[in-house]
């Protein structure tokens, strides 16, 4: 079962063609990593998945429906790259508001706050949190809806290694419970934690692979080196 | 076949949910509650400014049989303050929602655009009600403002005016790309309505075309409604019609704001 099917997706932003025609699928109940250098179009693609990106042509089907359709909005959670929570509310108030939007109660909100390790900071204003804490508050506001598809734009930036590992464990726990996750990152050591990898470069899909296959194709156990080898091989070979 | 190619309005702004509207209003009020200085300013500033007007006209003699200038101007200002303040507060709040990314995120949740905008209207409308009770109370007791009709009608008109300010603020914020632009919409939207509402120059004495412009500006009707309450002990039909027009204009502006709020952006 595929949770997401993207066919010939073309997106222009300003005068630039950011995604020149992408096609791929995302398997359900897995963690799919979206990796690529800065400016390669990861956030643009994620915006298209959640239905807030104007697209030029192509289709994006999420959980069997067109991306962004009303019926999907209680089933898809989205965490933007920059934390998008209300700075003038406490962590708990933020989580409770988003919980209410998803039709859940205060208990679910408090659980989501605890899940991201912010139980002790629940009463603090988001404006008074550290950058990493703010990002986790933003994550909690998506987890609270218990979505079937979670789209996370660089959720682990600015986190210490311990927290990062904890969050990745949580992502996998969610996947085991059936949630589909699409997680973007531009650090290759996170790629190793994904079940599936989509490597993006200048809006084009460089590889639709798995960590094991990428190591084999790139002839290196180091994913970063393997990625670079794949890039060089592509650019060296005639089109 | 599923398709996501065009920007057709796939989700109507009209999917109203009272639950999500009140959740949003509650959230906006909670944000306000954390900002003590803004609350203090909302509640106290109109009374202080009205006090300045009171002192300005206190010793100016009036013609016998005519209402005092302060009674006329002060009463009108009770409708103009909430309109201006709520216009500004709302356009800034909505712009913040846009620039902080929370708007984009909200648009991916089950909340509809109309829920969101009505939530703002409900929240700032309630804040305006509190403001109006304080200001009208101070005006009639401390400054001896004479109102022939019921002061509760004055409060009602002030709240409807505030909601009009909220609705126009939401609409204006759709066209503002920065805080600088948003703030400058205030004089553009507010001042012409203030100049032409009949307070500075009675409407009968305006040039015909100015009167025609004044006829289509909602604040004109708010001011007329207040003057009706100032004059007659009983609520008049004209007053209710005026209140209806202002409320209708507010709803129209809200609907336009919902229509201009795009879910998909480039
Ligand atoms: N609002 C916009 N208007 C015009 N162009 C934009 C806009 N936002 C992004 N772009 C362009 O689209 C391209 C892809 O941007 P995107 O944000 O999707 O990259 P990204 O892979 O998420 O990068 P990063 O890792 O830095 O977050 C970039 O070249 C960027 O300049
Ligand atoms: Mg990005």
What is the value of ipTM here, to two decimals?
Answer: 0.91
Q: Name the CATH topology of A1-65+178-238.
A: Rossmann fold (3.40.50)
Average pLDDT over chain B reads 90
> Once rounded to an integer, what is the mean pLDDT over residues A150-179?
91
Q: Return d(Cα A109, Cα A89) in angstroms, integer.
A: 14
* More confident site: B264 or B32: B32
Q: Return d(Cα A146, Cα B18) in angstroms, integer.
A: 22
Between the CA of A38 and the centroid of ligand 2 the distance, in Å, is 7
Nearest-Cα residue of chain A relative to residue B266 = A54
A218–B contact, CB cutoff 8 A: no
Q: Return d(Cα B77, Cα B223) in angstroms, integer.
A: 9
Taking only the tens place, the pLDDT of each residue in A110-123 is: 999 999 999 999 99
> Once rounded to an integer, what is the mean pLDDT over residues B19-42?
95
What angle separates helix B113-141 from helix B237-260, to the nearest 10 degrees? 140
Percentage, residues of chain A above pLDDT 90: 76
Which stretch of DSSP H or E encloses residue A59?
strand A57-62
A172–B contact, CB cutoff 8 A: no
Q: Return d(Cα B54, Cα B144) in angstroms, integer.
A: 9
Q: CB–CB of B166/B125 below 8 Å?
A: yes
Residues of A in contact with B111 (CB under 8 A): 101
Interface contacts A/B by beta carbons within 8 Å: 113
Name the pairing type of β-strands A196-201 and A204-209. antiparallel
- Domain range list for chain A: 1-65+178-238
Whether residue A195 is predicted with pLDDT greater than 50 in this model: the reply is yes
Nearest CA to ligand 1 atom 27: A38
- Nearest CB among B11, B19, B30 relative to A70 is that of B11
* Residue B55: HSE in the Cβ half-sphere, 13 Å Cα cutoff: 6
A50–B contact, CB cutoff 8 A: yes
Residues of A in contact with B3 (CB under 8 A): 59, 66
Percentage, residues of chain B above pLDDT 90: 74
- Residue B179: what pLDDT? 84
Q: Which of A12, A16, A81, A191 to mutate to test the pocket of ligand 1 (most atoms within 8 A of CB)?
A: A16
Q: Which ligand is located closest to the Cα atom of residue A42?
A: 1
Whether residue B3 is predicted with pLDDT greater than 60 in this model: the reply is no
> Once rounded to an integer, what is the mean pLDDT over residues B188-211?
92
Residues near ion ligand 2 (CB < 5 Å) are A 42-43, 81
Please name which of B217, B216, B220, B238 lies closest in space to residue B229, comparing C-alpha atoms. B238
Interface test with B, best of A58, A78, A84 (most B CBs within 10 A): A84
Pocket of ligand 1 (CB under 6 A): A 13-14, 16, 18, 36, 38-44, 81, 186
Query: Is B175 exposed, middle or buried (CB count within 10 Å of its CB: 0-12, 13-18, 19+)?
Result: exposed
Whether residue A66 is predicted with pLDDT greater than 60 in this model: the reply is yes
Integer-rounded Cα Rg, in Å, for chain A is 18
- pTM, two decimals, is 0.90
Q: Return d(Cα B266, Cα B263) in angstroms, integer.
A: 10
Taking only the tens place, the pLDDT of each residue in A14-61 is: 999 999 999 999 999 999 999 998 999 999 999 999 999 999 999 999
- Residue B11: what pLDDT? 44
Q: Where is average pLDDT lowest: A41-50, A189-198, B174-183?
A: B174-183
Which of residues 168 through 227 in chain B touch A, CB cutoff 8 A? none
Whether residue B16 is predicted with pLDDT greater than 50 in this model: the reply is yes
Q: Which atom of ligand 1 is nearest to the CA of A44?
A: 18
Interface test with A, best of B1, B2, B4 (most A CBs within 10 A): B4
Phi, psi torsion values for B198, nearest 5 degrees: 105, 0
User: Starting from the edge strand earliest in sequence, which strands make up the sheet with A57-62, in order?
Assistant: A16-27, A2-13, A57-62, A65-66
Q: CB–CB of B151/B121 below 8 Å?
A: no
Whether residue B4 is predicted with pLDDT greater than 50 in this model: the reply is no
Measure A127 CA to nearest chain B CA, in Å: 11
Query: Under an 8 A CB cutoff, do B31 and A85 touch?
Result: no
């Amino acid at each position: 079962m595929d949770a997401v099917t993207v066919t010939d997706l073309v997106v222009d932003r300003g005068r630039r063609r950011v995604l020149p025609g992408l096609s791929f699928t995302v398997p359900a109940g897995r963690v799919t990593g979206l990796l690529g250098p800065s400016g390669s179009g990861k956030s643009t693609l994620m915006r298209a998945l959640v239905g807030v990106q104007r697209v030029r042509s192509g289709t994006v089907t999420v959980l069997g429906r067109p991306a962004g359709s009303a019926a999907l909005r209680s089933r898809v959670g989205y965490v933007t790259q920059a934390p998008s929570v209300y700075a003038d509310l406490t962590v708990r108030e933020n989580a409770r508001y988003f919980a209410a939007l998803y039709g859940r109660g205060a208990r679910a909100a408090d659980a989501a706050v605890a899940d991201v390790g912010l139980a002790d900071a629940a009463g603090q204003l988001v404006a008074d949190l550290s950058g990493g804490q703010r990002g986790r508050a933003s994550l909690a506001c998506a987890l609270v809806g218990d979505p079937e598809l979670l789209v996370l734009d660089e959720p682990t930036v600015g986190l210490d290694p311990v927290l990062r590992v904890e969050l990745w464990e949580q992502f996998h726990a969610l996947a085991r419970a059936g949630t589909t996750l699409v997680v973007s990152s531009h650090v290759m050591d996170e790629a190793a934690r994904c079940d599936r990898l989509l490597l993006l470069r200048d809006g084009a899909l460089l590889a639709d692979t798995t960590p094991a296959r990428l190591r084999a194709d790139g002839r290196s156990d180091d994913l970063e080196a393997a990625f670079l080898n794949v890039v060089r091989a592509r650019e060296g070979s005639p089109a | 076949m599923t398709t996501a190619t065009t920007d057709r309005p796939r989700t109507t702004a009209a999917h109203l949910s009272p639950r999500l509207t009140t959740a949003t209003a509650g959230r906006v009020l909670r944000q306000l509650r954390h900002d003590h200085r803004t609350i203090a300013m909302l509640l106290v500033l109109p009374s202080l400014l009205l006090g300045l007007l009171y002192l300005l006209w206190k010793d100016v003699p009036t013609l016998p049989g005519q209402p005092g200038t302060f009674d006329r101007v002060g009463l009108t200002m009770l409708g103009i303050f909430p309109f201006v303040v709520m216009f500004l507060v709302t356009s800034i709040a909505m712009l913040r929602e846009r620039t902080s990314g929370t708007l984009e995120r909200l648009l991916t949740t089950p909340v509809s655009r109309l829920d969101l905008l009505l939530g703002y209207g409900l929240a700032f409308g309630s804040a305006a009600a509190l403001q109006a009770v304080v200001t009208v109370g101070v005006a009639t007791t401390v400054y001896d403002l004479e109102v022939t009709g019921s002061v509760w009608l004055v409060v009602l008109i002030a709240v409807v005016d505030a909601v009009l300010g909220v609705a126009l603020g939401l609409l204006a914020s759709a066209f503002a790309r920065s805080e600088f632009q948003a703030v400058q919409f205030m004089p553009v939207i507010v001042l012409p309505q203030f100049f032409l509402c009949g307070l500075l120059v009675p409407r009968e004495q305006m040039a015909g075309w100015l009167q025609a412009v004044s006829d289509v500006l909602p604040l004109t009707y708010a001011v007329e409604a207040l003057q009706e309450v100032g004059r007659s002990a009983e609520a008049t039909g004209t007053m209710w019609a005026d209140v209806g027009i202002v409320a209708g204009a507010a709803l129209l502006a809200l609907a336009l704001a919902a229509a201009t709020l795009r879910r998909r952006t480039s």
